[in-house]
Amino acid sequence: MQYKSLSLTDKLALIDEHWSPRVLAEMNDNQFKLVKVLGEFVWHQHDDTDEVFIVLKGSLRIEFRDGSVQIDEGEMYVVPKGVEHKPCAEAEVHMMLVEPRGVVNTGDAEQSTMTARGDVWV
């Protein structure tokens, strides 16, 4: 039997919306999500979990209250739990997020138009 791998590029091509993460795979209780982003997100934090950003295309800046990090293509960064952050993409960025199942994209921030429905697969 020939099992099938998951192509990040092929799956990204199926995503139209910005800031709307789609689940690509699960490892135990964790989800690997693909997302396209453009512009500024909202300030938020995740009180119970770290969050991994892996940039596949473009360059993402994440602002913190005391600084920022620039994540270019082929780079990753782990935002520690409880750290307030705001992702910003001056041009479109394609990336993979890794975090536990059930995490809301806007974290502790008030629900808004930026709040995406969870557990939508691609």
Applying CB under 8 A, which residues contact a second copy? 1-9, 24-28, 30, 32, 49-52, 64, 66-72, 74-78, 81, 98-100
Whose Cβ is closer to a second copy: residue 70's or residue 92's? 70
**How many angstroms separate the CA atoms of 103 and 86, rounded?**
16
The amino acid at 27: M
Name the minimum Å distance from CB 16 to a second copy.
20
Whose Cβ is closer to a second copy: residue 98's or residue 109's? 98
Name the minimum Å distance from CB 71 to a second copy.
4
Among 100, 112, 95, smallest CA distance to 61 is for 95
**How many angstroms separate the CA atoms of 104 and 16, rounded?**
20
